[in-house]
C-alpha cells in the first residue's frame, strides 16, 4: 500500500502538534552508504516524494549507531561491518521545527538481501554522485557536495 502525497501531508500536519507536545526535539540517523565504485545508496519512500539517504528516527533508549544500524537493515538490508564516520549533525527545521539529522558515512558494510518494495521503501539503488535521480532531496544533494566535492558544510539540512 502506498500512501499518496496529499494524505501523507495531511497526516504529518495533524500529528505535528502532538509531536511538538511530546517531543521538544526529534532526532534521526541517516547513512551515506558508499560502495567500492563510490556510488551512494538512495531510497525512495512510499509516503513522501524524492530520493533520500536511508535512515530514520532514533527511538527511546537507542543510541545513534543502534538506530542507524536498525534502519539500514530494515530499509535496505545493509549491515554495518565497522563503525561509520559521523559527517555531521544538521537542523532540519523546514520539515519540523525541532528536527535534527545525524549523518554518517558508511564504507564498511554488506548487503546480503535487498528487501522487496513495500509501503515504506518503494525503491532503492546505488547512484554515481554526479548522476543521482531527479527529485533527490535538496539536503541530500548538499551533503553529497560536502562529502565528494569539498563544499563548505552547513548546519542546516
Q: Is residue 154 part of a domain?
A: no
Residue 32, phi then psi, degrees to nearest 5: -95, 95
Residue 3 has pLDDT above 60, yes or no: no
Give the domain CATH number at 57. Answer: 3.90.79.10
What domain range is 95 assigned to? Answer: 5-149
Q: Is residue 43 part of a domain?
A: yes
Residue 129 has pLDDT above 80, yes or no: yes
CB 72 within 8 A of CB 106: yes
Structural domains in the chain (count): 1
Q: Is residue 155 part of a domain?
A: no
Is residue 94 very low, low, confident or very high in pLDDT (cuts 50, 70, 90)? confident
Q: Is residue 26 part of a domain?
A: yes
For Cα atoms 31, 20, 86, give the angle at the middle one, nearest 5 degrees: 20
Does the CA dihedral 139-140-145-151 come out positive or negative?
positive
- The pTM of the full predicted model, rounded to 2 decimals, is 0.85
Q: Is residue 98 part of a domain?
A: yes
Query: Each residue of 28-46: pLDDT tens digit?
Result: 999 999 999 999 999 999 9
pLDDT of residue 15: 74
Mean pLDDT (the chain, rounded): 91
Residue 149 has pLDDT above 70, yes or no: yes
Query: Each residue of 35-77: pLDDT tens digit?
Result: 999 999 999 999 999 999 999 999 999 999 999 999 999 999 9
Q: Is residue 128 part of a domain?
A: yes
pLDDT of residue 1: 47
Q: Is residue 141 part of a domain?
A: yes
Q: Is residue 157 part of a domain?
A: no
Amino acid at each position: 500500500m502506498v500512501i499518496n502525497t496529499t494524505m501523507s501531508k495531511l497526516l504529518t500536519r495533524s500529528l505535528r502538534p502532538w509531536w511538538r507536545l511530546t517531543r521538544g526535539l526529534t532526532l534521526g540517523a541517516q547513512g551515506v552508504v558508499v560502495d567500492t565504485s563510490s556510488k551512494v545508496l538512495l531510497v525512495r519512500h512510499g509516503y513522501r516524494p524524492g530520493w533520500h539517504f536511508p535512515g530514520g528516527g532514533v527511538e527511546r533508549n537507542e543510541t545513534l549507531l543502534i538506530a542507524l544500524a536498525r534502519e539500514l537493515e530494515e530499509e535496505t538490508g545493509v549491515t554495518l561491518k565497522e563503525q561509520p564516520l559521523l559527517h555531521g549533525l544538521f537542523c532540519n527545521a523546514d520539515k519540523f521545527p525541532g528536527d535534527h539529522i545525524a549523518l554518517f558515512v558508511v564504507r564498511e558494510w554488506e548487503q546480503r538481501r535487498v528487501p522487496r518494495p513495500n509501503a515504506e521503501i518503494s525503491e532503492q539503488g546505488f547512484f554515481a554522485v554526479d548522476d543521482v535521480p531527479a527529485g533527490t532531496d535538496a539536503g541530500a544533494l548538499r551533503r553529497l557536495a560536502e562529502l565528494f566535492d569539498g563544499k563548505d558544510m552547513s548546519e542546516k539540512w
